Structure 1
Amino acid sequence: MIEIKDKAKCCGCSACRNACPKSCIDMIADHEGFLYPQVRKDECIACGVCERVCHLLHDDKKNTGFSSSFYAAYNKADDAVLQTSSSGGVFWPLAEYMIGQGGVVYGAQLGENFQVAHSRAETLKACERFRRSKYLQSDLGDTFTLVRKDLKSGRKVLFSGVPCQVAALYRYLGTDHENLYTCDVICHGVPSKAVFDRFIAELNEKKNDRATSICWRDKRNGWGPNHISIRFASGKELITTSRENPYQTGFLDDLYLRPSCYACKDARLPRVSDIALADFWGYQGKLLEGNKNRGLSIVITSSEKGNFLFEQIRSKLVYEPALKETVMEKSRCTHSAPMKNHYREKFFKEFHSGRSFASLTKKYIHLPFAKKMARKFRVRLLHEM
């Protein structure tokens, strides 16, 4: 029976829940807002399946020894694709290819009340909800069960997720199915939903309004610097840069990530997935000349399937090879886990005591100097026309 004594050894992937033959495992949020398995012991038959499918309890090494290929790339389609993509829009042709093959795509979507969950798509239209970054952990629910069902029926599957979710899927399935293709979104770690909920609640109170949606990668002013927009029920919007948003700054400073993120064994090269995508911040090259600050992606292929996928989509990309050393320099998340912020325990102790997120921001989150002096967002309020 799976029992989480060390929270650094659970990534919340739900593989155990999906594998349980008695369906007696629930995923329950702890006091920090992260999901962990909870076994209904009176129904458990002690079969051990939950422990066998836990990838953090086993030293699986996917793609070890494969010589990865590295690219800088962006989608050559019209601006609409790039505008609605987090970086270079490379995921979209992957989805187009898979749907065109009669396959299905799995990805993370942002739903009501800012809940992020994986879902299944059989049409390109349905894949649109997988675009853009979501800086919250996705609830996988029954996704692994559905993936297995699709593979057994002969369908091709593209599964996209953060690397621990990809690794967990492979462990759950027990083998690398011929029709399974995986894409990992190179990850900085997943932040606390409980912290996010308090941030939103206090923002609603401050604005006397209700936040209804968030875009973590608003490109109206270009790809960089990154802007975040929050829309309210009144039609107004709050727009800040990432570093002016206290929740995002705490995330970037590794203050309230999931415990397992600080010990992530999937933050490595080669990647656990067939093909991996990330922002290519700080890139210097000819590719930028025609990009017009619309977004640029790192693309890493770490298997023969990854190379195959890139061959299928490269005609839809503007791309050039990139040096491994450059990729590693510009994106540390490709090869190393985030460092635990030494204020994390103190932050959560005060968070649980009921202190406001606003007061914790002033104490623990290092906003830009001008922002600290003003102690308020530099905002632009926009009204719907």
Structure 2
Amino acid sequence: MNVVFLGMAFLLALAAGYWTFGRGSPRPAGTRAMGALLGAFALAFASYSPLVQDAVETLVPHVARLLSNSASLAAATAVVAVALQLNLDPLEARRRIRVNLALLVAAISGMTVLFVFEGLTHRSPQVYALYLFVYVSCLGLAVVNFLRQAIRQSNSTRRSSVRAGLRMAAAGCAFALLYVAYKLTRLVDLGLGLGLIDNNSQCSSLAGTCAFSVMAPALAVLLICLGLTWPAVAYPISQARRRRWEVQSFEALGPLWQDLTAALPHVVLSSVDAEHASADSDFMLQRRVIEIADGILALGPYRSREVQEAVQGTVDAGTVQGAAVVEATVVEGALIGLKSGRFSDSVAPPSSEAASRRDLRADTEWLLLVARAYVSRVGRDVDGGQPQSSGT
């Protein structure tokens, strides 16, 4: 347990340092709140460790409980602060964060006073019950507040990583509420004097009541932390995957682009150094897709309906792959007609698949199928797709 809790505390402390000092300038909204959240989580995990609990209790008996409870309240308040900064305008968010911070200070101060008074009254169950009431009330309010905002935001966000992260955090709130329910049970037990739960038991494993008193809050902290940081981790991964797809698509469209721009040099847009394609992958891919689409459009008078109908009889033209083969064959024939100066007697209509595409990615995916079919017909190899000078 020491390894798990202290290891997580160390990792969370490193993450808190990165969010606080390593984000550069200007810092995104919520950077400080996120750093405070991770720092509070690190303190919470450290406070759950038996090693830390034994160390602090050699100085002040039973103070580990106050330390872990205070850390849990600070973490819950930090979670709410992050959610408020994400969901509200800055002025309203700051106002509500100040209210939550005031409640946090009041709750920890009250718990500290009650903890000291409990020691002076020889561990009075009534004083401890009042201590639990303050702690559970503040923690439950923060958890419910964040859970409500997380569910609302996850249902409205368009980013899948944010939606998944918020739902993961909501699952963490479920464990936090389980912990709150356990504390309420202890509160009722103390108030009625039932003696159902041993208040003096120490957690050496995760069995029994320790599953509620230690494991539930630890899982809550872990899931909420992962949920709130997941979008920040997923975004650069998704961006790297997107850039890789853009560069690969740029290269795969090369042979078709080269033949079209060699025959129709006027479709080439302003000159851009192709060596920077990987750095400006989005712009370069969009430029290439537009030039290919313009080239195919310019071939309109040379597109043969006879060729189109002949190929449609040999492939399943009802599928996207079959339609791409048909389009590639028509483009190949149109290029031959352009070079010989022979117009088509019966012009083939544009592909319905091309007309149905409404964004860059959809256009690219369609042209990739056409380019692959075109390469297989003309027997060319993809050479990296580096653009040559117009007219070559």
TM-score category, normalised to shorter length:
under 0.3
Q: Which TM-score applies when normalising by structure 2? A: 0.25
Larger Rg: 2
Q: Which TM-score applies when normalising by structure 1? A: 0.25
Higher relative contact order (CA 8 A, sep 6+): 1
Larger strand proportion of the pair: 1
